Amino acid sequence: MVLLVIAALTALLPDPAPAPVDRASQLSLFEFDEEAPGPESWRAVTDAVMGGVSTARLVDSGKGTASFEGLLSRKNRGGFATARSPSRELGLEGYDGIVVRVRGDGHAYKLLALRGDAWNEIHTWQVPLTAPAGVWVEQRIPFSTLVHTVMGRRYPSTGPLAPEAIRSISLSVAGGGEGLFALEVDWIRAYRDDAGVRDQRSR
């Protein structure tokens, strides 16, 4: 009986506060409130390459964040729109994943990792983003959860992607219907498992 009373009282206690983010064990990749070059250095890759009319861009939101925005259309058998960071050495060896802070609009989005330098690289490693409309969310993405795809289709397993091979990050709108879209991005960082970052935390 006593144990039942204790269990009932414990259930009424508030959830513990989120673990603090240890910035010392994170690697800043894109801080859109301060980094140069800014979001305008990201390149759009859309269905225009196959006759589609979708558009995309990453721009300064004017609020210390970046906005991944554009128009998603399935006209002419299109239906994809992405923005890709410039290819460079990201220095991800020894890190366990990527953590992003984003705010969505009801569309479905993905984060993609690329290892090639070509702007039209077809091999990507991707994962869905959790980006509820109007809510800031931090999402931790372990490198081990990235799925290898070629032109959007799952590729036979080739083993996990080595973090040190990643040279570019891309954002993609992946669903939610045609029309205008906008995903606000505060920052993108790499983390180690001792970073004290929860899988997902809203602010």
Cα–Cα distance between 148 and 156 in angstroms, integer? 8
Reported as a pLDDT band with limits 50, 70 and 90, residue 49 is: confident
Report, at the CATH architecture level, how domain 35-193 is classified.
Answer: Sandwich (2.60)
* pTM score above 0.75: yes
* Rounded (5°) CA angle 37-52-174: 65
Asked if the model's pLDDT at residue 4 lies above 90, the reply is no
Asked if the model's pLDDT at residue 9 lies above 50, the reply is no
pLDDT in tens, 181-197: 999 999 999 999 874 44
Asked if the model's pLDDT at residue 3 lies above 90, the reply is no
pLDDT of amino acid 17: 33
pLDDT of amino acid 25: 78
